[in-house]
Amino acid sequence: MADDDAQVPDRMGDPAHWATGRLLSTAARLVEHAWDAHLATWGLNHASFAVLWMVERGPLPQRSLATSASVQDQTMSRIVERLQRLGYVERARGTDDRRQVLVSITAEGRRVRGLAQDERLAEGLVTDAVPDPAALRRDLLALVRQLSPRRGGPA
What sign results for the dihedral spanned by CA atoms 99, 149, 71, 65? negative
74 and 84 in contact (C-beta within 8 Å)?
Answer: no
Look at residue 75 and give the partner it binds from its own copies, DNA, none, a contact being a CB closer than 5 to 8 Å depending on partner kind.
DNA
Residue 66 near DNA by CB under 7 A: yes
* Distance between CA atoms of residues 64 and 71, nearest Å: 10
Work out whether 62 is an interface residue with DNA (CB under 7 A): yes
List the one residue from 10, 14, 73, 118 that touches DNA (CB under 7 A): 73
Question: Rule CB under 7 A: which of 88-117 touch DNA?
Answer: 91, 94, 97-102
115 binds, among its own copies, DNA, none (CB under 5 to 8 A by kind): none
User: Of 105-124, which residues contact its own copies (CB under 8 A)?
Assistant: 119, 122-123
- Residue 61, interface with DNA (CB under 7 A)? yes
Q: Note whether 140 binds its own copies by CB under 8 A.
A: yes
| Per-residue binder mask for DNA (CB under 7 A), 8-37, x = binder | -----------------x---x---x----
Kindly indicate which of the ranges 61-69, 78-86, 106-114 contains the residues binding its own copies, using the contact rule CB under 8 A: 61-69
Q: How many residues bind its own copies (CB under 8 A)?
A: 68
CA dist 19 and 104 (Å) reads 41
In angstroms, the Cα distances linking 53 to 50, 60, 102, 111, 146 are 5, 11, 15, 12, 24
> Which residue number, 85 or 124, has a Cβ lying nearer to its own copies?
124
> What part of residues 117-146 is at the interface with DNA (CB under 7 A)?
none
Residue 144, CA distances (Å) to 129, 141, 149 in order: 21, 5, 9
CB of 58 closer than 8 Å to CB of 105:
no
CA distance 93 to 137: 37
